[in-house]
Amino acid sequence: MTAAAPEADKLSQYVYGIVAQGTSVPDVAGVGGGRVRLQLLGDVAALVSGVPDPEVIGLPAEVRAHAAVLDAVAQAGPVLPMRFGTVVPDVDALREALGPDAVASYQEELDRLGDAVQYTLTVRYREGAVIAELVEEQPEIRRLREATAGAGPDAAYYERIRLGELVVHGFEQKRVNDAAALTDALAPVVLELRPRETAQVEDVLEAAVLVRRGEQRRFDNTVEALASQRVDRMSFRLVGPQAPYDFVAGT
Amino acid sequence: MSAVATRSHGSYVDRPSSASLADVVALILDKGLVIDAFVRVSLVGIEILTIDARIVIASVDTFLRFAEATNRLDLQAQGGKDLPELVEGMTQAGSRGKTGGMLSGAKEALIGNRDKDDDERGREEKGREEKPERRTSSKADS
């Protein structure tokens, strides 16, 4: 914990998150290069840094700084991320905004999430492998594939659209079972799994998962095993451990 | 971003040591505790990223892209050895095809170029602080 420099107190304060008192601040540059410090708020503390010009927050480097600070803190202990872009005019405003009730609820939340970290798991189909399955399984796709083979870009337009539509629909049908199987297999090694809305045809599952600190290795091994069993059809991407962005209240 | 588990050799899981900008944005945007009245930031270049990418799926462009991928597919190669590598190559080649803009969906399309630059720069200049921004064609940069 470091004492606030007098000038830093007068600046607007960027608020990263809430931590337990006595949490050590990692040596990571804050938003706009500011020095991150703790601001005590009763039984908990806020991670803050001074920002000279709060009007311009939102640049890529600032997005990264927000996450870098929170993720670094999360390696060692519990942290409740604040919404990106939370800026208070000064330290007093922060104290005013977070009264005893807010502090008590943060304390509860820190206890609830204290023993856990978040990972983000993204599983995507290998496009060629799944299309090959669909060609094999669906006669209509096979027929349209042959009918449109070698056609120029302007020829067989509607057949090509129909073919693409069937293939896209085929991905969607496969996703239902494949995503459920992954979710079931992960259930024993995660505290919670929250799927994000999938946006792409090739997506199988994108999920934020909450993992107990003591079970990170077991979780990792499980993901590895799932990936190795499915290597022909899917690619796995695992980012973390991260701060529990997806699991704080109000998210 | 950090990745503690680095089992890069012999692993079937991609564990990036630094997440892409798109990853970070998807991770933090609209999440976290809110202090009433104090989220008042102008999200420069970020707002546009929240446009829902779902509309892309049911578009003619997507259908044509998958029709093309299906036509191009070499079924014999799919049954052969070294399947993952072949498939990977094919997927990547596909994503650089003429319908390239749509291939990775709206989210990536909107920040795609910048994000790639961002990652490359990250590798080249690891440890250095990022420049606030640099000129690319994307509107999201302004």
- For chain A, 251 residues long, give each residue's pLDDT as a single digit of tens: 444 444 555 788 999 999 999 899 989 999 988 899 999 998 899 999 998 776 667 788 888 999 999 999 999 899 999 988 888 888 888 888 888 888 999 999 999 998 999 999 999 999 999 999 999 999 999 999 999 887 776 778 899 999 999 999 999 999 999 999 999 999 999 999 999 887 789 999 999 999 999 999 999 999 999 999 999 999 999 998 999 999 997 64
Report how far residue A61's alpha carbon sits from residue B141's, in angstroms, rounded to the nearest whole number.
12
Are B28 and A66 an interchain contact pair (Cβ–Cβ within 8 Å)? yes
pLDDT of residue A153: 66
pTM value? 0.74
Residues of B in contact with A87 (CB under 8 A): 38-41
Nearest alpha-carbon partner for A135 in A163, A161, A156, A155: A163
Q: Which of B18, B70, B86, B92 to mutate to test the interface with A (most CBs of A within 10 A)?
A: B70
Sequence-distant (≥ 6) Cβ neighbours of residue A250 within 8 angstroms: B32, B33, B34
Residue of B9, B12, B133 to mutate, interface with A, max A Cβ within 10 Å: B12
List B38's β-bridge partners, or say none.
none
Contact state of B24 with A249 under an 8 Å Cβ cutoff: no
DSSP state letter for A82:
B
pLDDT at residue A99, as a whole number = 83
Contacts of B41 in chain A (CB under 8 A): 54, 57-58, 84-87
Tokens 């997440």 sit on residue: B19
Q: How confident is the model at residue B29 (pLDDT cuts 50, 70, 90)?
A: confident
For B101, the token pair is 């803009």
- Give the H/E segment covering residue A25: none
Please report, to the nearest 10 degrees, the dihedral formed by the alpha carbons of residues A71, B19, A203, A206 taken in order.
Answer: 0
* Burial call B81-102: b when 16+ CB within 10 Å, e when fewer: eebbebbbebbeebbeeebeeb
Distance from CA of A236 to the nearest CA of B (A): 5
Which residues of chain B neighbour A81 with C-beta distances below 8 Å? 28, 31-33
B100 to chain A, any CB pair closer than 8 A? The answer is no
Q: Which of A51, A47, A144, A225 is nearest to B66 (CA)?
A: A144
Inter-residue contact A86 to A182 (CB < 8 Å): no
pLDDT tens for B42-74 read 555 554 444 444 445 568 888 989 999 999 887
Containing B107, the helix (H) or strand (E) segment is helix B105-124
Q: State how far the Cα of A191 lies from the Cα of B75, in Å rounded to an integer.
A: 41
Interface predicted TM-score of the whole assembly (ipTM), two decimals: 0.78
